[in-house]
Structure 1
Amino acid sequence: MGPGELLDVLLAGGRRAERATHVRHLPGRDGTRADWPAWADADLVRGYRALGVERPWEHQVDAADAAWSGRHTVLATSTGSGKSLAFWLPALSAVRRGATGAVPDPGAIESVRRRPTVLYLSPTKALAADQLAGLERLLGAAGTRDVRVATCDGDTSRDERRWVREHADVVLTNPDFLHFALLPAHATWSRVLASLAFVVVDECHAFRGVFGAHVALVLRRLRRLAASYGASPVVVLASATTSDPAASAARLLGVPADEVHAVTADTSPAGRKTVVLWQPPELPGGDGPWASLLPAEDPWATVVAVPPRDDAARGDGATAEDAQTDPTAADGGQAGPRARPEGSGPLGTGERLVAVPQDRPRRTATAEVADLLADLVAAGARVLAFTRSRRGAESVAAATRDHLAAVDPTLPPLVSSYRGGYLPEERRALERAIRSGHLRALATTSALELGVDISGLDAVLIAGWPGTRVSLWQQAGRAGRAGADGLVVLVAREDPLDTYLVHHPEAALDAPVEATVFDPGNPYVLAPHLCAAAAERPLRADELDLFGPRALDLLTELTERGILRRRTSGWYWTHAEPASRMTDLRGAGGDPVRVVETATGRLLGTVDAASADAKVHPGAVYVHLGATYVVDALHLDDGVALATRRDVDHGTWASWITSTTVVDVEREVPWGPVTWCYGQVDVTTQVVGYQRRRIPDLQVLSTHELDLPARTLRTTAVWWTAPPEVLEAAGVTLEVAPGALHAAEHASIGLLPLLATCDRWDLGGLSTLVHPDTGHATVFVHDGHPGGAGFAERGFELGPVWLTATRDAIAACPCATGCPACVQSPKCGNGNEPLDKSGALRLLTTVLGHAADAAPS
């Protein structure tokens, strides 16, 4: 079935037509082939042809030629465009050519040469396992037995690691293993490092923010050690379509941008995609005893300013700064101005106001996606449904199976869930099943967003905005791979951000994708990697350029603090503990908690340490592949949760409290009545209880308290206070203040990455009407990493510049009440409520006025 037929299935003969807020048809394209390069290994070419690749695409040959010629190369093309061939063809050809040349002439000692080696790095173990399977298929089809390929990561046994070190030509691993195991023990990996010809960095757009900075420094350490063994590997990077991939790749490697060859023209075929923005329906009105007495609409639900008229003489006392412009409407791809009825505010205010009725509650995105998924499966389609959480993936899969059971008892087994925390063998089995057609649908988290090769899908459902346009198009790219047509449906959650996007398609579908942002020079990240580098091999002065201009100052500071020791030959690590333990690349906060079946001792899965309190507390319902378990006990010290298999009709929802406490005010600047501060804070989160809610109607069955320890993140923050007189001067009343402060917090977090070279996900924040440590209304923005990462400090140094950019971004946004471009956040824990755009604009303007008055003349 084509996208049009599948869309007809979803629209249910017009009964759901009003839910599709926008339909966009993206045209397909023809592919452009090229000849196999002359240098390509003939057996590998034969293997690719046996797998159906008669001739490669032009962009594959462009990237492969550049890599073979010795240039670092980044390939940034769409999902399913065949990036793997572009890096494996030159890498494996080099291995095979080297393997042939490594056979020595018994009479000539100079003929002994090392076999070339290849390191493949991916952000996830699942992707490395998928690439291993693909390589084995290719080498089997090629009939070659002289290329030895293996994965090696934290799950690899000691004996297997020894074999990899001694024999493997291609090692598939991840940056974490390099950081903690391979680089610190480089002497035992000397065979691999001395022969290193290629390094492949797959899905490199995933290396962003602080994580990206860590990976960039791990790659610098790898290149440094390889050079010490006489190797100079070519690095090939594969990325989703991102903004300026050459600059991002160069920053990741620590080389000038002109040394990276970027391939961005996608010459693979693409089928037509139909993209649908979808809003679930409003829920039926209440049926309680007072429901009939309530008005159908609250005439003063939300009050917004009326946009100015074209005529200059308005005569109502309102200024241009008071008025806000209306967003353009978009319906079926056509945009234009939307007329709004005029009104007038309370007598004597001089304001021109109009009431906009609030929407009634809508059906949840997960419930809606389960319905749509059931309809597509019943129609014979193969589908992925992306959800925002592990609970969402399990819920969508379970509800879909229930819907299908009422239609055909043979259909429910064709649907399953897929998420992180499953055992590796379970994930591999699910991937094989969806590829082969034994499964028609998977409800998944973003775990399947990255390059695991799953082709031939008819449709993708996305339950809620995934956070970035890069993620949106990565997930959408799973539909219609290999040149087939595909259907993509983005279903809005009951969240102002999602609601805005499905009614403003230009914001979701037409805006450019985000750049991959990270800063390898961040001293909070660089310092521990300099220590790790010195521990691996004394760090010489002539190597400092590799680590950037801040390296020398940081080394001097580390020496003065006794962390490193300076000698004429370089900087040395002289401590017993491994330097690599000074930092965690992902900031995971500890080893995962294992979920174990109480009766059998069987390992069910794992949960991140940071979220274990909320997901596997005593009494929690843990869902694994559709089976429900109830947690008996959580042993945090041992990292184990014990659970018993039990069929239940409810789920559990944890509740927690979060607080931000000022630990130390390190710097403080008075701006008149406003105080601008920087220092250390404790961000404390504690799970205090949970609710049992019946499924599917989510009726609360009971509430339970929990006695779990608080988790505290000691980090750095920048904050400012707004005493009552500042709020009053800004016209921000007590009713408006929470929304104004919250909107200012969101917009500040959104703008700081422009100044501090970080990612929005590296930051957190809090806004409160009265904070106990300041005594006033306060907005905090803090680093989301232990000890801080320098972002808040940078924000403090650029205070007026940062807040001016924040205010100007809000003022320039054409929306009336707030949107993702100004004050809404994709990661808000409060569902983007309350938010008051105009209040934030007035408040920031007032604060900046005090900052200007306090600035030295």
Structure 2
Amino acid sequence: MRPASQNRRAGASPARSSHARRGRRVGDRCEDGGVDLLDVLGAGGRRTDRITHVRHIPARPGEHADWPAWADTDLVQGYRALGVERPWVHQVAAADAAWAGRHTVLATSTGSGKSLAYWLPALSSIRADAAGALLDPGRIESVTRRGSTLYLCPTKALAADQLAALDRLLTAGRTRDVRVATCDGDTSLDERRWVQEHADVVLTNPDFLHFALLPQHRRWARLLGSLRYVVLDECHAFRGVFGAHVGLVLRRLRRLAAAYGSSPVFVLASATTADPAASAARLLGVSPDEVTAVTDDASPAGRKTFVLWRPPELPGTPGPWSELVPDDDPWATPLPVPAQATRAADDLVPPAPDDVWPSSAAPAEGAGPLGTGERLVADATDRPRRTATAEIADLLTDLVVAGARSLAFTRSRRGAESVASATRSHLFEVDPSLVRAVSAYRGGYLPEERRELERAIRTGDLRALATTNALELGVDISGLDVVLIAGWPGTRVSLWQQAGRAGRAGADGLVALVAREDPLDTYLVHHPEAIFDVPVEATTFDPTNPYVLAPHLCAAAAEQPLRFDELDLFGPRTAELLDELVERGALRRRSSGWYWTHAEPASRLTDLRGAGGDPVRVVESVTGRLLGTVDAASADSTVHPGAVYVHQGLMFVVDELHLDDGVALVTRNDVDYGTWARWVTSTEIVAVEQEVAWGPITWGFGSVDVTTQVLGYQRKRIPDMQVLGSSELDLPARTLRTTAVWWTAPAAVLEQAGVTLEAVPGALHAAEHASIGLLPLLATCDRWDLGGLSTALHIDTEEATVFVHDAYPGGAGFAERGFTLGATWLRATRDAIASCRCATGCPACVQSPKCGNANNPLDKAAAVRLLDAVLTHATS
């Protein structure tokens, strides 16, 4: 039996010694060319076997244009003082279109200067109005109709960053007559009153528009009546259900602006997406013909090296009772592995410089599990791989020691804190002075904490940040050398946004996508063409979704009674839905339109971000200090009693969770374990909207009720993740009405697949996990936007059934996309399972980090046979 101390050591960093070996390079600066950062990642050749692909993206020269003749000369001088001697061609093209009164979307890369394209026309307009008032001060219209601009972005951090940038521009141009202010839920009433009465530019977010500005539009009459431009920054973030909500908020804004006599021009800034004009038009509720799209990026870009990385397998780490367990699980049904397929990892040759396998090194056809025909090497072992967060902590340590400035994107708040903490721990062993050069950044921090971290990484006081996607959007952080990405971020759009942080402003950059133990990540690091040779996704959302539309119709009626001639603005199903709302007593119909007659604000009927209510505040019990916030929907699983909460490397244990009050009380306590919630989920079919038959198999799509309840949690020791114990919880169940796609497997199909009655649950469960992991390849979503259920006998279908559902009220179109591409989706799922090198199933193919049943039961081989049998009946 192996001692516990050895178990802990088995999970330690295999590259730890490399940190110390490179300690002499602490003083080197990457910008001086003294360090080859790709060599730093590869640890001088000791980690290159983890690289599955290297892609070099060539540099791009920039193309300048002249300043537009209409541009305010003081603003132009301000830009020149800040180093912009001449704008890029795409900036001028977009600015000209906006100045001409065309709705405009600018879809170019990160760091391409999109803000100039909207601020130049917006501020020039304000300056022109101000000059007109000075020339004819006796005209009252000169004062009351001075043009204004409304800036909307997904996050408060981005609005604060834009405020700082505008202040620098206006100061440089000596144009202090433009009044700029942020206004959101954190703004005091006195400050809000000043903004209502005086501000020329208001920077805010769609949430504030929905909850405060539009319901109280009479207080904002000056702004709405003088609105010339509405800017939507990072509009590619408005996708899924959130995008549908924002689209309807914008329709409400257009409606009220028209009532006050204005017709603003909308200028949208986006990452590179497929068909940006169509997405922008859908967001605004106008025809695509009314939107000018500027997509040719004329800004310079440095050479970017993009590395795909798969962490190594861990050495054997048997638990304390491992000697009592047989080597072979008698209940497992492993895929047979041909003898010729057990080549050692050392036999593999890394990818050639031209990014293709040399013919002499390519594994033979059929070298994967027997009968799969995969060009992958199979191992007879079934060992887990190192986690992406542990791997990135090692890489980030070496980069900090080498003097690089880096961002490490993680998939969760827990991941950001874990990477930052592990990196600081590694650095302490090498050079304690570097510990303070690393920090975490995530949602839930207090605003002042986030501003300070942004300043520190921008100025170089910090060398590295481990962050969630909170820093994916346009906060101006330039001069970074490296971006590390822990796992597929959900979409190619997000991937390139995050990667764009490396080498901004024309400098060279290095990006590494580090695979998690996830079927999608495993597939992508072995299929680079699915990343680099496929266009980015279109932004998907549906503003006509009745579950999203209904509360916005109530909100619009509360703001101003809905008239018959306004219904087209909200889509073709509006009249039908209004009748239903009248029948349910939500609205009252009169000859002049539809009215909201209830005392409570209609805007409270919906939450734009689907968070399930107001955030839960995390408060330290002893001091009463507010540490941060947690989304209401995730509070049950993250701040339940007994949960470990980490904030900037400090550990707290939750004493009490008061859901009604929205407060979690915590106590400072350094423990050697983390907590993972355990929950149970059931799915009920409410309505079948579409159905097709593949012979004996039924494919269905419709509305479902998904009920989830957190039952307890496990305590796992860190870092070896050994389970220390579990506890039960008494928390309420939550029900989600959404849409799902499902397929059935009748007894005849199970028999055809050779799946016995005992193997059915494991086969279905494995197929469900893998299909959830692969659907993001076909729909603009992340696996965390999805949920699923598999059962050997479902009460509604009366057969073995696999469900995959959208994780948003009313659905977001992802399950429907899976329904329309069923055969393509299942083939990709089958191939991902079969190509994995493990024998009986692992986190890279059929295990899921979201599973509420501890990934049990799972049967990889039976899942492959079942999917093969199902696909023989596929009609498309």
TM-score by length of 2: 0.85
Residue 313 of structure 1 corresponds to which residue in structure 2?
A: none
Residue 182 of structure 2 corresponds to which residue in structure 1?
A: 151
Contact 1:57/1:268 (8 A) holds in 2: yes
Residue 531 of structure 2 corresponds to which residue in structure 1?
A: 508
Match of 2:788 among 744, 755, 765: 765
Match of 1:205 among 228, 236, 252: 236
Residue 521 of structure 1 corresponds to which residue in structure 2?
A: 544
Residues 1:60 and 1:735: Cα distance change in structure 2 (over 3 Å):
farther
Report the Cα distance in structure 2 between the residues aligned to 1:793 and 1:240, rounded to whole angstroms. Answer: 25
Match of 1:271 among 302, 316, 323: 302
Residue 703 (structure 1) shift: 3.0
Contact 1:66/1:73 (8 A) holds in 2: yes
Residue 340 of structure 1 corresponds to which residue in structure 2?
A: 365
Residue 739 (structure 1) shift: 5.8
Match of 2:74 among 43, 59, 63: 43
Which deviates further from its counterpart, 167-176 or 693-702? 693-702
CA RMSD after TM alignment: 3.7
Residue 675 of structure 2 corresponds to which residue in structure 1?
A: 653
Which deviates further from its counterpart, 74-83 or 739-748? 739-748
Match of 1:467 among 485, 490, 499: 490
Read off the aligned partner of 2:680 and give its amino acid letter: T
Contact 2:771/2:829 (8 A) holds in 1: no
Report the Cα distance in structure 1 between the residues aligned to 2:606 and 2:285, rounded to whole angstroms. Answer: 20
Render the CA deviation track for 1:233-257: whole Å, top value 9, x for unaligned: 1100011111111111111111111
Residue 603 of structure 1 corresponds to which residue in structure 2?
A: 626
Residue 471 (structure 1) shift: 1.2
Match of 1:839 among 855, 860, 865: 865
Read off the aligned partner of 1:161 and give its amino acid letter: R
Report the Cα distance in structure 2 between the residues aligned to 1:790 and 1:106, rounded to whole angstroms. Answer: 52
Residue 60 (structure 1) shift: 0.9
1:520-669 correspondence runs (5 A): 520-648=543-671, 650-662=672-684, 664=686
Is structure 2 residue 478 aligned with structure 1 residue 452? no
Residues 1:354 and 1:11: Cα distance change in structure 2 (over 3 Å):
closer
Report the Cα distance in structure 1 between the residues aligned to 2:626 and 2:816, rounded to whole angstroms. Answer: 45
Report the Cα distance in structure 1 between the residues aligned to 2:215 and 2:647, rounded to whole angstroms. Answer: 37
Report the Cα distance in structure 2 between the residues aligned to 1:668 and 1:20, rounded to whole angstroms. Answer: 44
Report the Cα distance in structure 1 between the residues aligned to 2:215 and 2:284, rounded to whole angstroms. Answer: 19
Render the CA deviation track for 1:738-796: whole Å, top value 9, x for unaligned: 4653466468769999999998765432112234666541222334333x34859968x
**SS of residue in 2 equivalent to 1:410:** helix
Render the CA deviation track for 1:89-123: whole Å, top value 9, x for unaligned: 11111111112213473555565551111011111
1:220-235 correspondence runs (5 A): 220-235=251-266
Report the Cα distance in structure 1 between the residues aligned to 2:848 and 2:370, rounded to whole angstroms. Answer: 34
Task: Name the % identity.
Answer: 71
**SS of residue in 2 equivalent to 1:782:** strand
Residues 1:743 and 1:111: Cα distance change in structure 2 (over 3 Å):
same
**SS of residue in 1 equivalent to 2:623:** coil
Contact 1:101/1:113 (8 A) holds in 2: no
Render the CA deviation track for 1:473-519: whole Å, top value 9, x for unaligned: 11111111111111111111222322222222222222221110111
Contact 2:833/2:845 (8 A) holds in 1: no
Which deviates further from its counterpart, 651-660 or 59-68? 651-660
Report the Cα distance in structure 2 between the residues aligned to 1:290 and 1:414, rounded to whole angstroms. Answer: 44
Contact 1:30/1:268 (8 A) holds in 2: yes
Residues 1:117 and 1:466: Cα distance change in structure 2 (over 3 Å):
same
Residue 682 (structure 1) shift: 3.9
Read off the aligned partner of 2:235 and give its amino acid letter: C
Report the Cα distance in structure 1 between the residues aligned to 2:366 and 2:835, rounded to whole angstroms. Answer: 16
Render the CA deviation track for 1:168-211: whole Å, top value 9, x for unaligned: 11111111111111111111111000000000001111111111
Render the CA deviation track for 1:399-443: whole Å, top value 9, x for unaligned: 111111111121101111101110000000000000011111111
1:471-490 correspondence runs (5 A): 471-490=494-513
Residues 1:595 and 1:236: Cα distance change in structure 2 (over 3 Å):
same
Residue 219 (structure 1) shift: 0.8
Report the Cα distance in structure 2 between the residues aligned to 1:749 and 1:15, rounded to whole angstroms. Answer: 35
Render the CA deviation track for 1:550-594: whole Å, top value 9, x for unaligned: 223323333444433333332222333322222221111011111
Residues 1:180 and 1:257: Cα distance change in structure 2 (over 3 Å):
same
Report the Cα distance in structure 2 between the residues aligned to 1:552 and 1:726, rounded to whole angstroms. Answer: 45
Residue 375 of structure 1 corresponds to which residue in structure 2?
A: 398
Residues 1:818 and 1:773: Cα distance change in structure 2 (over 3 Å):
farther
Contact 1:384/1:461 (8 A) holds in 2: yes
Report the Cα distance in structure 2 between the residues aligned to 1:47 and 1:11, rounded to whole angstroms. Answer: 44
Residue 402 of structure 1 corresponds to which residue in structure 2?
A: 425
Match of 2:710 among 675, 682, 687: 687
Contact 2:519/2:832 (8 A) holds in 1: no
**SS of residue in 1 equivalent to 2:681:** strand
Residues 1:85 and 1:108: Cα distance change in structure 2 (over 3 Å):
closer
Is structure 2 residue 733 aligned with structure 1 residue 710? yes
**SS of residue in 1 equivalent to 2:433:** coil
Contact 2:770/2:833 (8 A) holds in 1: no
Report the Cα distance in structure 2 between the residues aligned to 1:424 and 1:571, rounded to whole angstroms. Answer: 40
Residue 78 (structure 1) shift: 0.7
**SS of residue in 2 equivalent to 1:406:** helix
Residue 542 (structure 1) shift: 2.2
Residue 366 of structure 1 corresponds to which residue in structure 2?
A: 389
Contact 1:41/1:93 (8 A) holds in 2: yes
**Larger relative contact order, structure 1 or 2 (CA cutoff 8 Å, min sep 6):** 2
Identify unmatched segments of 5+ residues in structure 1: 307-328, 347-352, 853-857
Residues 1:491 and 1:758: Cα distance change in structure 2 (over 3 Å):
closer
**SS of residue in 2 equivalent to 1:411:** helix
Report the Cα distance in structure 2 between the residues aligned to 1:343 and 1:187, rounded to whole angstroms. Answer: 68
Identify unmatched segments of 5+ residues in structure 2: 1-29, 340-349, 838-843
Read off the aligned partner of 2:111 and give its amino acid letter: G
Report the Cα distance in structure 1 between the residues aligned to 2:772 and 2:562, rounded to whole angstroms. Answer: 37
Which deviates further from its counterpart, 462-471 or 228-237? 462-471
Contact 1:747/1:806 (8 A) holds in 2: no
Match of 2:335 among 302, 305, 313: 302
Report the Cα distance in structure 2 between the residues aligned to 1:670 and 1:14, rounded to whole angstroms. Answer: 53
Residue 315 of structure 1 corresponds to which residue in structure 2?
A: none
TM-score by length of 1: 0.86
Report the Cα distance in structure 1 between the residues aligned to 2:780 and 2:491, rounded to whole angstroms. Answer: 17
